Amino acid sequence: MPSTPQTGSVVPPLLVILLGAGALWAAMGIRPGMLPNDPGPAFLPMAAGAALVGLGLRLLVAREPHDGMPRGAMLLRVAGTIGLTLAYLATLERWGFPASTFAFLTCQMVLLGVRSPLALATLPAGLTALTYLLFRVLLSVPLPATRIGGMLI
């Protein structure tokens, strides 16, 4: 079931205000420009920071509705996907593209409810090989490869 609309959380506007304040603070540390009459390198981050603070305050008062955050199985799928992508990122250069991609696709499909051993064995392997061929062989994109990972292709 899609999440239902909820009203009035103060969290998003507060985050916007904090981000804007942080940007203003960071922009103060930028050294001024040397050209005469130049508003300087700090101009854009200052303007963006001030806008975020002002708009955040406006939204804090307005308390506009937003979609509810996912819960239960939905949250597991989203958080699990983010975690698996981070793990994929961490192993990409260590294990090499073929091994890490195969592992990522298998885990991701399990997370989404695929239980057929045949599908879990063939689809990740086929997709890994296809992507490798497409990027590495056809487009010459240097994907990370190790001896162990390379043996899978």
Contact between 67 and another protein (CB under 8 A)?
A: yes
| Of residues 91-130, those binding another protein (CB under 8 A) | 92-93, 101, 104-105, 108-109, 112-114, 123, 127
- Please give the span between the terminal C-alpha atoms of the chain, in angstroms, as a whole number: 40
Q: How many residues does the chain have?
A: 153
Provide DSSP, 79-128: HHHHHHHHHHHHHHHHH-HHHHHHHHHHHHHHHTT---HHHHHHHHHHHH
Nearer to another protein, 114 or 152 (CB): 114
Nearer to another protein, 38 or 148 (CB): 38
| Of residues 27-66, those binding another protein (CB under 8 A) | 27, 30-31, 33-45, 47-49, 51-52, 55-56, 58-59, 62, 64-66
